[in-house]
């Protein structure tokens, strides 16, 4: 058995809708760092990371969490329309993001701020989307990070098609599709997996099982552990501790390498937990118990890496203080950048509908400008910014 | 008489429908414990159980496709689509199956399915949360489409839609969920598939539905201050259209403005303008004008005020109509 061929059958509680998400024994869970921060080995996933890299991963995790906290605060202060928090999922995202090589392409949903970070996307572009200024201002090609996709599951097909393109072009790269546990129920996701398997496309499906689709627990989406589904499509599935950045890095690296080498897709289930609300408009107290949250706090992805780094002397108090300071700077930059974002001119909505402007839209745009110019002051902002 | 929000009126209407008919089954994402993202089904799972208020897996094609089978077994599925932009994974089932099965079975298989969709913009959401997909459904033979605008219509309309023997796309104006109005649970409702004059006037007939009814009424208030009298008609039903009251009105006013949020091109307004022109040609003093969204994707929220018709744009159209 290779590292990617796992497949014992774990039986789940057969009572429909039974219980709150639990932390069952996870015989198949790949873990390299215990919740206490103990480094452990896994027979299939050895990983060689330098101290430098380990500190880098910690920095990623801490900064992404700081960004998330600032965004949540900004939303509460009315500066963002909504925010989809990644709290608790930092390791899954940073681990997966850092596994990508140059030329690999990531296909996120709407919560992958941590992956965006690893791809060098300016956080302010992500902020502008949630502020309602644009649909995410980064260049998906330059950053090898696609725009966010809100319609659940749609991006898994895009990733598969992209991978087929890589394959045809003989490019030695892979696509990494992000999805949630809820998304696995969508027909399109199943189609993506069928395509990927049939064409042995170099795509990796990275599912963050954060236990909930808004209020609906994983038991309502699947009666078997998600990673076991892969077998039915004809490719390997792996369950990794999503709160263990090292394990996620190792498993995703292996899967991407296999894809690049022509072995086809892998389904990775990163077993994790959404510590916050689904988005800032959600009220999780309606559907989950505080006890559950407390239990998961003990598996915090950042605390465990921090414990490991301090215990093994890879990082000292000065290092952590420096990262904290960097976090404060980042947060300040995000705050100020968000507050200073200019509102877009209304004319922008006409400008990129097509690559080639249509006469109808040009006319609607002209009428729009004329209409706003007809107000003395009220509409002048929109009209005057029209020239840019 | 009770004062209720549209959201609460829907909740009570659903409750009543479930009490009246044990075959009514609610299905949708997050409609159970959470009560739906807009809390329209709040408390219903608690009282009717998980078999009648079903938190479904996250799959819209699944919701509508299984509704077809349930309907074949005599159930009356009421499907909640969480947001307008997420109806499209179910579009295939709605358009190729739900809409056609009655005709294909020559009436042997009725499809009493209700598809509830919170629709329209104005709530500052991210993309796909503010769409106006009504024309797609109204264009599909075999579907009935209604859009409510008041708590009373919400309360009665949802019950009537559930009781109706045909599939009904039931559009709820999400930005008006929190607006209040009078509901008389002992009163008798207007027929579900009919329009209604909601404000009398002599100068211009303004047609609207769903969220734009309030905007049209605000425009009528503003116009009145300038001595202009607008007659406002709430279409209420988009398929079938009930335009007799509209023809009557236009024959009197000679002018007609249709308002909706959806893009103007090939929207409901185009159909209405054509029909009004055919039927009232000799009474018209001006072409039928349309006020609607632009032919652009619904923009990011900081631009939605520029996109959505507001009372100024309605008044502007009224001015243009009067200027002919
Ligand atoms: C097709 C579609 N249906 C419904 C929604 C509304 N919605 C947004 S997020 C979400 C839950 C997604 O859960 P999951 O896939 O587990 O991802 P998570 O948000 O937990 O990361 C739902 C139902 C949507 N965006 N797209």
> In this predicted model, what pLDDT tens digit does every residue of A70-128 receive, in sequence order?
999 999 999 999 999 999 999 999 999 999 999 999 999 999 999 999 999 999 999 99
Note the Cα A251 to chain centre separation in Å: 16
CB A314 within 8 A of CB A51: yes
Chain B 56-85, CB below 8 Å of chain A: which residues?
56-59, 61-62, 85
Show which residues of A are catalytic: 274, 278, 287
Q: Domain check: are B117 and B6 in the same one?
A: yes
Question: Please, which pLDDT band fits residue A9 given cuts at 50, 70 and 90?
Answer: very low
Average pLDDT in the B123-134 region?
98
- Domain end call among B183, B212, B233: B183
Q: What is the pLDDT of residues B275-295, one digit of tens each?
A: 999 999 999 999 999 999 999
CB A112 within 8 A of CB A126: no
B191 Cα: distance to centroid of ligand 1 (angstroms): 36
Q: Domain check: are B26 and B147 in the same one?
A: yes
Omega before residue A371 within 30° of 0, cis: no
DSSP 8-state secondary structure symbol assigned to residue B194:
-
Q: Domain check: are B84 and B124 in the same one?
A: yes
Closest-CA distance, B194 to chain A, in angstroms, reads: 33
Least confident of A175-184, A372-381, B11-20: A372-381
The CATH number of residue B120's host domain is: 3.40.50.970
Q: Is A181's C-beta closer than 6 angstroms to any atom of ligand 1?
A: yes
Question: Which two tokens mark B265?
Answer: 């091109």
* Confidence at residue A160, expressed as pLDDT on a 0 to 100 scale: 98
Residue A199 dihedral angles phi and psi, to the nearest 5° = -100, 10
Q: Percentage of residues in chain B with pLDDT exceeding 90?
A: 100
Please state, rounded to an integer, the average pLDDT across all residues of chain B. 98
From the list A188, A286, A346, which residue is nearest B89 (CB)?
Answer: A188
Q: Domain check: are B152 and B223 in the same one?
A: no
Q: B263 lies in a domain?
A: yes
pLDDT of A200 above 70: yes
* CB-count exposure of residue B44 (10 Å: 0-12, 13-18, 19+): buried
Show which residues of B are catalytic: 129
| Dihedral class, residue A176 (left if φ above 0, else alpha if ψ from -120 to 50, else beta) | beta
Q: Is B54 helix (H, G, I), strand (E, B) or coil?
A: strand
Residue of A nearest to B87 (CA): A151
Ligand 1, atom 21, residue with closest C-alpha = A180
CB B260 within 8 A of CB B212: yes
β partners of residue A335: none
Q: Domain check: are B204 and B157 in the same one?
A: no
Residue pointed to by tokens 């499907």: B79
* Confidence at residue A26, expressed as pLDDT on a 0 to 100 scale: 72
* Confidence at residue A313, expressed as pLDDT on a 0 to 100 scale: 97
Q: Which residue has the higher pLDDT, A19 or A180?
A: A180
Q: Domain check: are B42 and B75 in the same one?
A: yes
State how far the Cα of A64 lies from the Cα of A52, in Å rounded to an integer: 18
Q: Domain check: are B74 and B140 in the same one?
A: yes
Question: Please, which pLDDT band fits residue A24 given cuts at 50, 70 and 90?
Answer: low
**Which of A81, A130, A192 to probe by mutation at the B interface, max B CB count within 10 Å?**
A81
* CB-count exposure of residue A152 (10 Å: 0-12, 13-18, 19+): buried
Closest among A44, A106, A60, A7 to A250, alpha carbons compared: A44
Residue of B nearest to A352 (CA): B296
Given ligand 1 and candidates A83, A214, A281, which is best to mutate, with the most ligand atoms within 8 Å of its CB? A214
Ligand 1, atom 18, residue with closest C-alpha = A180
Question: Which two tokens mark A169?
Answer: 């072009």
* DSSP H or E run through A127: helix A123-131
Chain B CB contacts of A129 below 8 Å? 126, 300
Average pLDDT in the B50-73 region?
98
The CATH number of residue B274's host domain is: 3.40.50.920
CB A61 within 8 A of CB A91: yes
B299 touches chain A (CB under 8 A): yes
B263 touches chain A (CB under 8 A): no
Q: B292 lies in a domain?
A: yes
Question: Please, which pLDDT band fits residue A379 given cuts at 50, 70 and 90?
Answer: very low
Q: Domain check: are B49 and B89 in the same one?
A: yes
- Whole-complex ipTM: 0.94
Ligand 1, atom 3, residue with closest C-alpha = B86
How many domains would you assign to chain B?
A: 2
CB A82 within 8 A of CB B130: no
Question: Cα Rg for chain B, rounded, in angstroms?
Answer: 19
pLDDT of A6 above 50: no
From residue B303, give the alpha-carbon distance in Å to each of B96, B193, B202: 35, 34, 34
Residue pointed to by tokens 């990494």: A176
Residue of B nearest to A343 (CA): B302
CB A213 within 8 A of CB A142: no
Closest among B221, B202, B236, B26 to B113, alpha carbons compared: B26
CB B244 within 8 A of CB B194: no
* Confidence at residue A16, expressed as pLDDT on a 0 to 100 scale: 35
Q: Is A111's C-beta closer than 6 angstroms to any atom of ligand 1?
A: yes
| Residue B96: CB atoms within 10 Å | 11
pLDDT of A19 above 70: no
Q: What is the pLDDT of residues A137-181, one digit of tens each?
A: 999 999 999 999 999 999 999 999 999 999 999 999 999 999 999
Q: B79 lies in a domain?
A: yes
pLDDT of A380 above 70: no
**Which of A135, A349, A366 to probe by mutation at the B interface, max B CB count within 10 Å?**
A349
Q: What is the pLDDT of residues A230-277, one digit of tens each?
A: 999 999 999 999 999 999 999 999 999 999 999 999 999 999 999 999
**Which of B30, B46, B96, B293 to probe by mutation at the A interface, max A CB count within 10 Å?**
B30
* DSSP H or E run through B262: strand B256-263
State the alpha helices, DSSP H only, in A1-82: 51-76
State how far the Cα of B257 lies from the Cα of B264, in Å rounded to an integer: 12
Q: Is B86's C-beta closer than 6 angstroms to any atom of ligand 1?
A: yes
Closest-CA distance, B27 to chain A, in angstroms, reads: 13
Closest among A323, A308, A300, A288 to A92, alpha carbons compared: A300
Chain B CB contacts of A183 below 8 Å? 58
Per DSSP, chain B holds a count of helices (H) and strands (E) of 12, 14
Question: Please, which pLDDT band fits residue A25 given cuts at 50, 70 and 90?
Answer: low
pLDDT of B301 above 50: yes
Average pLDDT in the B129-150 region?
98
Question: Please, which pLDDT band fits residue A377 given cuts at 50, 70 and 90?
Answer: low
Residue pointed to by tokens 């930092």: A90
* DSSP H or E run through A39: none
Closest-CA distance, A197 to chain B, in angstroms, reads: 22
Q: A51-340 maps to which CATH number? A: 3.40.50.970
State how far the Cα of A120 lies from the Cα of A116, in Å rounded to an integer: 6
* DSSP H or E run through A242: none
Q: Domain check: are B221 and B318 in the same one?
A: yes
From residue A208, give the alpha-carbon distance in Å to each of A88, A127, A187, A193, A243: 11, 22, 18, 16, 10
Q: B188 lies in a domain?
A: no
Could you tell me how many residues make up chain B?
324
Its pTM stands at 0.94
CB A256 within 8 A of CB A265: no
Closest among B195, B179, B180, B186 to B156, alpha carbons compared: B186
Please report, for chain A, the start and end positions of each structural domain, with discontinuous segments joined by +: 51-340, 346-384
Q: Domain check: are B163 and B212 in the same one?
A: no
From residue B170, give the alpha-carbon distance in Å to each of A65, A325, B61, B261, B302: 41, 53, 17, 16, 28
Q: Domain check: are B14 and B149 in the same one?
A: yes
Chain B 88-127, CB below 8 Å of chain A: which residues?
88-89, 124-127
Closest among A241, A234, A239 to A263, alpha carbons compared: A234
Q: Domain check: are B76 and B152 in the same one?
A: yes
CB B317 within 8 A of CB B289: yes
Residue B217 sits in which domain range?
Answer: 196-323
Chain A CB contacts of B306 below 8 Å? 346, 349, 368, 382
pLDDT of A23 above 80: no
Given ligand 1 and candidates A84, A107, A184, A213, which is best to mutate, with the most ligand atoms within 8 Å of its CB? A213
Q: B270 lies in a domain?
A: yes
Question: What is the bridge-based pairing of β-strands A216-217 and A212-213?
Answer: antiparallel
Question: Which two tokens mark B261?
Answer: 């949020």
Chain B CB contacts of A220 below 8 Å? 55-57
B34–A286 CB contact, under 8 Å: yes
Chain A CB contacts of B88 below 8 Å? 151
Question: Please, which pLDDT band fits residue A36 given cuts at 50, 70 and 90?
Answer: very high
Q: Which residue has the higher pLDDT, B40 or A24?
A: B40
């Amino acid at each position: 058995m290779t590292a990617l061929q796992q497949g014992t059958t774990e039986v789940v509680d057969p009572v429909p809708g039974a219980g709150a998400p639990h932390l069952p024994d996870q015989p198949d869970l790949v873990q390299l760092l215990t919740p206490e921060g103990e480094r452990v080995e896994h027979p299939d996933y050895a990983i060689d990371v330098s101290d430098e890299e380990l500190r880098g991963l910690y920095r990623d995790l801490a900064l992404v969490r700081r960004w998330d906290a600032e965004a949540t605060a900004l939303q509460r202060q009315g500066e963002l329309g909504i925010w989809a928090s990644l709290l608790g999922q930092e390791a899954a995202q940073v681990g997966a993001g850092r596994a990508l090589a140059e030329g690999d392409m990531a296909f996120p949903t709407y919560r992958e701020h941590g992956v965006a970070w690893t791809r060098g996307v300016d956080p302010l572009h992500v902020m502008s989307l949630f502020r309602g200024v644009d649909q995410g201002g980064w260049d998906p090609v330059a950053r090898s990070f696609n725009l966010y996709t809100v319609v659940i599951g749609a991006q898994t097909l895009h990733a598969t098609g992209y991978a087929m393109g890589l394959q045809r072009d003989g490019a030695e790269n892979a696509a990494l599709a992000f999805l949630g546990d809820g998304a696995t129920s969508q027909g399109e996701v199943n189609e993506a997996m069928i395509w990927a398997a049939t064409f042995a496309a170099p795509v990796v499906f990275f599912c963050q099982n954060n236990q909930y689709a808004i209020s609906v627990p994983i038991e309502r989406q699947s009666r078997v552990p998600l990673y076991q589904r892969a077998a039915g499509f004809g490719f390997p599935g792996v369950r990794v501790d999503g709160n263990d950045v090292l394990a996620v890095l190792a498993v995703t690296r292996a899967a991407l390498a296999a894809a690049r080498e022509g072995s086809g897709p892998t389904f990775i289930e990163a077993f994790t937990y959404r510590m916050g609300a689904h988005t800032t408009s959600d009220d999780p107290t309606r559907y989950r118990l505080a006890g559950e949250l407390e239990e998961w706090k003990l598996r915090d992805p950042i605390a465990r890496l921090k414990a490991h780094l301090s215990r093994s002397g890879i990082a000292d108090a000065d290092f952590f203080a420096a990262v904290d300071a960097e976090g404060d700077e980042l947060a300040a930059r995000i705050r100020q950048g968000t507050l200073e974002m200019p509102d877009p001119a209304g004319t922008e909505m006409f400008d990129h509908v097509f690559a080639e402007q249509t006469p109808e839209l040009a006319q609607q745009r002209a009428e729009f400008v004329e209409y706003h110019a007809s107000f003395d002051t009220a509409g002048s902002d929109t009209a005057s910014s029209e020239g840019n | 008489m009770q004062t209720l929000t549209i959201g609460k009126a829907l909740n009570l209407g659903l409750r009543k429908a479930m009490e009246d008919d044990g075959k009514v089954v609610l299905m949708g994402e997050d409609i159970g414990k959470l009560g739906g993202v807009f809390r329209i089904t709040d408390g219903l799972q608690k009282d009717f159980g998980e078999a009648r208020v079903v938190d479904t897996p996250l799959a819209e094609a699944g919701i509508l496709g299984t509704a077809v089978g349930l309907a074949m077994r005599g159930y009356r599925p009421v499907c909640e689509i969480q947001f307008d932009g997420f109806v499209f994974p179910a579009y295939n089932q709605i358009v190729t199956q739900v809409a056609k099965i009655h005709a294909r079975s020559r009436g042997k298989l009725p499809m009493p399915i209700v598809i509830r969709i919170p629709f329209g913009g104005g709530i500052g959401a991210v993309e796909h949360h503010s769409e106006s997909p009504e024309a797609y459904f109204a264009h599909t033979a075999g579907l009935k489409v209604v859009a409510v605008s008041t708590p009373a219509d919400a309360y009665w309309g949802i019950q009537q839609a559930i009781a109706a023997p045909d599939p009904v796309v039931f559009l709820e104006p999400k930005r008006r969920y929190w607006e209040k109005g009078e509901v008389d649970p002992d009163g008798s409702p207007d027929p579900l598939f009919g329009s209604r004059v909601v404000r009398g006037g002599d100068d211009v007939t303004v047609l609207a539905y769903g969220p734009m009814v309030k905007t049209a009424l605000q425009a009528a208030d503003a116009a009145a201050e300038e001595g202009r009298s607008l007659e406002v008609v709430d279409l209420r039903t988009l398929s079938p259209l009930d335009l007799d009251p509209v023809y009557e009105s236009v024959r009197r006013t000679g002018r007609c403005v249709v308002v909706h949020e959806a893009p103007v091109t090939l929207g409901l307004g185009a159909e209405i303008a054509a029909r009004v022109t055919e039927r009232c040609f000799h009474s018209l003093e001006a072409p039928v004008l349309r006020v609607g969204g632009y032919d652009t994707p619904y923009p990011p929220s900081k631009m939605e005020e520029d996109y959505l018709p507001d009372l100024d744009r309605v008044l502007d159209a009224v001015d243009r109509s009067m200027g002919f």
